[in-house]
Structure 1
Amino acid sequence: MRKGKKMLDKTLQDEIVKKGRGFLRGVDLSDPIGAAFVSDQGLRLPQPPLVKAAAATPETHIRLPEPESTSLAESDLTELLRSRRSYRSYGDTPLTLQQLSYLLWAGQGITGIKGENYATMRTVPSGGARHPFETYLLCRNVAGLGPGAYHYLPMEHALEYLGAVEAMSETISAALLEQKWAARAGVVFFWSVVPYRAEWRYGIRAHRTILIDAGHVGQNHYLAATALGLGTCTVAAFDDSLCSRLFGLDGKEEFIIYAAPVGSRRRDGAPHCTPTD
């Protein structure tokens, strides 16, 4: 428990946990409510956009190197799975733009379009090919890319610059609830969710699917970082309100759901990870 933090009444805490389990189970489709529910797709309402539109003009977008040209430190899948770890201690070597490009592509890259802009095929699976996530970055130490906040544009494989961030290291720590180790990362990935992309098809069952899909993104991210010889650690502890402000999100129709600092590994190779990582 963090110093100075007041604890809720245990009975109240247990009730909150029970509600969380109910959310995780979702609505049983065989009960009256579940059986009667019709998704917006079933109601023939228009589907939401496949990706979030960029705020800036295309001329200002930062094109990323092609991911296929990336040099990998390790490409054997068995070895990648065996050596994957959570790294919470980073060196001073900046990430390259090529490495950043590969990480973005591995986590949310588009590999094809299905039908008449009906769905995107990506490097990760997603229930119904809904892909309800957007990728944002706080860049601190990436060669060839100025510090600041960015939004990934998967259709173009490009970055959209959102603006400068004051006191970057301190802001990263604050955004991740004072996890100060993250402040040495070269870049921090933040994945937001646009729930309606999944709700349009799956309605009241969409939220379980969203959580499963987030896990797919996280594993691809880990394997890509490992292949590049970088260190990363996915986290779910962050300041929701601050993260929404950093990236201009409304916190209701779009909000941060997952994060991952990434950096070069320390020369001594210490991952600073717990046995369960």
Structure 2
Amino acid sequence: MNTQEQIAANRDFCKSPFAQEREPSDQQKRLPQPPLCKPAQSEQRIALSRDFRPVMTETDFLTILQNRTSQRFYKDEEMTLDQLSFLLWATQGVKSIRGNHYATLRTVPSGGARHPFETYLAVRKVTGLCAGVYHYLPLEHALEPVGPLENPQEQITAAMHGQKWAGGCAVAFLYSFVPYRAEWRYSTSAHRVALIDAGHVVQNLYLACEAVGCGTCAVAAIDQEVADALCRVDGKDEFIVYAAPVGLSDPEKNREGNRKMYAQTILESNAVKPLEK
């Protein structure tokens, strides 16, 4: 497949397939439903607070919307565990369970209430947590450790496809997609729906960050193999699809960092020779 054929195929992927005839889904075939969440892989737990009011620095919604911006450069200080707890709840928190464990209702919308994502954290500077990778357990509102990070700044940068600013975060959110959780209901239409849902999740993260004095910038340009290996996922039945470094907000540092980054981008683009006609 050449480039133009690949572009055409990708455009078709973006179109709604729901009016087309398709094979019955596994749900329609009455096959067993997959788990609502990935089962915990260890017995260790880090409990998270549900008392969010003390960490809220901004509660006016209009102000939060007005102030929302992508932030790539942060204070080189620790976030608190309670700030992190709020961000996790705001993006994947479970409010209730529908039916006999049929679906979870969460703080974000999801097609068919499938919520086919898992949240992993690459922690660099969070009070009370060692540098390492953690997995969020939304039904318990708790964390389980996945493994240590020997050099979190370099490892986060590598997972973000070499974007050095990302390594300066306090914690990087990495969202994995568990395909069958959505495929069970939507079959071949599941993947487009899931990518739309990923946007809902990270937009909540942006707004939640503004409410607790933090900032984030979503990253689609991840290194797939590095990010999957970092989170210990298999790359087939679960793989990373989106990421978002987070840190304590520093507006002046962010403005200056962005100015330098954009200036460098312009220099590099001017250095590229135009294609000969």
8 Å contact from structure 2 (residues 73, 253) kept in 1:
no
User: Over aligned residue pairs, what C-alpha RMSD do you find?
Assistant: 1.7
Structure 1, residues 55-107: CA drift from partner, whole Å, max 9, x if none? 101xx200011143442111111111111000011111210000000000000
Change in 2 beyond 3 A, CA 1:36/1:18: closer
Change (3 A) 1:36 1:144: closer
* Alpha-carbon contact 1:139-1:187 (below 8 Å) kept: yes
Letter in 1 for 2:193: T
CA distance in 2, matches of 1:18, 1:183: 35
1:203-240 Cα distance to aligned partner (Å, 9 max, x none): 12111110111010011000000111111101101111
Is the alpha carbon distance of 1:42 and 1:266 closer, same or farther for their aligned partners in structure 2, counting shifts above 3 Å?
same
2:74 touches 2:253 (CA, 8 Å); kept in 1? Answer: no
Task: Name which of 172, 177, 186 aligns with 1:193.
Answer: 177
- Equivalent position to 1:253, from 237, 242, 245: 237
Could you tell me whether the CA contact under 8 Å between 2:220 and 2:242 is conserved in 1? yes
Pairs within 5 Å for 1:113-128: 113-128=97-112
Is 2:258 the partner of 1:268?
A: no
1:55 aligns with 2:60: no
Aligned to 2:23: 37
The answer to whether 1:78 aligns with 2:62 is: yes
Structure 1 gap ranges (5+): 1-10
> SS in structure 1 opposite 2:77?
coil
1:230: which partner in 2? 214
Distance (Å, rounded) in 2 between the aligned partners of 1:62 and 1:270:
31
Select 2:153's aligned residue among 166, 169, 174: 169
Question: Deviation string for 1:223-269 (max 9, x for gaps)?
Answer: 00011111110110111111111111110110001000001122635
* Aligned counterpart for 1:27 among listed residues 3, 9, 17: 17
| Structure 2 segments unaligned to the other structure (5+ residues) | 263-277
- Is residue 86–residue 273 contact of structure 1 (8 Å, CA) maintained in 2? no
Aligned counterparts, 1:207-246, within 5 A = 207-246=191-230
Moved more, 96-105 or 63-72: 63-72
State the distance in 1 between where 2:22 and 2:169 align. Answer: 48
Q: Name 1:13's counterpart in structure 2.
A: 3
TM (normalized to structure 2)? Answer: 0.89
- Give % identity: 51
Equivalent residues of 1:70, 1:102 under 8 A apart: no
Q: Which residue of 2 aligns with 1:46?
A: 32
Task: Supply the AA of the counterpart residue of 1:20.
Answer: N
